[in-house]
Amino acid sequence: MIPGKVLTILAVLWCLGFAECARQTLSRMITIDQSSNNTDVSVAVGEQVEIALRENPTTGFRWELKMDGAPACVPRGSTYEAPAAGVGRAGTRRWRFEAVQAGSGVIELVYRRSFEPDKPPAEVFRIGVNVGK
């Protein structure tokens, strides 16, 4: 038999853990694409920004992170979704950033071949991020 105080403490801890999971699940994610280039986006602390851009790594071109949104945002990784069919076709690169504190930052990505570092990038994607409380 578990004493009443221990059972109450366990119940409170379980509720707190459940509330945190629910908060994370309900946090808003804003997905933007190339049409948002050179614009600003506003989010709240805890929300995420996902940038989805076409990428064709078979040509050597890949998106490279130059500015990560600091200090208001931190990068949370990227993934590449290959096209369903067709060798050599472009897929989608998705970058995720989390708003961690109020303020502003800039996210900048450049599309270039890693073996041509002295050439200007083929494309530049840039957004300003404004994080409110």
Q: Which CATH architecture does the domain made up of 29-132 adopt?
A: Sandwich (2.60)
Query: Is 70 exceeded by the pLDDT of residue 36?
Result: yes
pLDDT digits (tens, 9 = 90+) for 104-121: 999 999 999 999 999 999
List the domain boundaries for the chain.
29-132
- Token readout for 16 is 């707190």
What whole-number distance in Å separates Cα of residue 133 and Cα of residue 131?
A: 7
Detail the DSSP E strand segments found in the chain. 29-32, 39-44, 48-55, 61-68, 73-81, 91-99, 103-113, 123-132
pLDDT computed for residue 66 by the predictor: 97
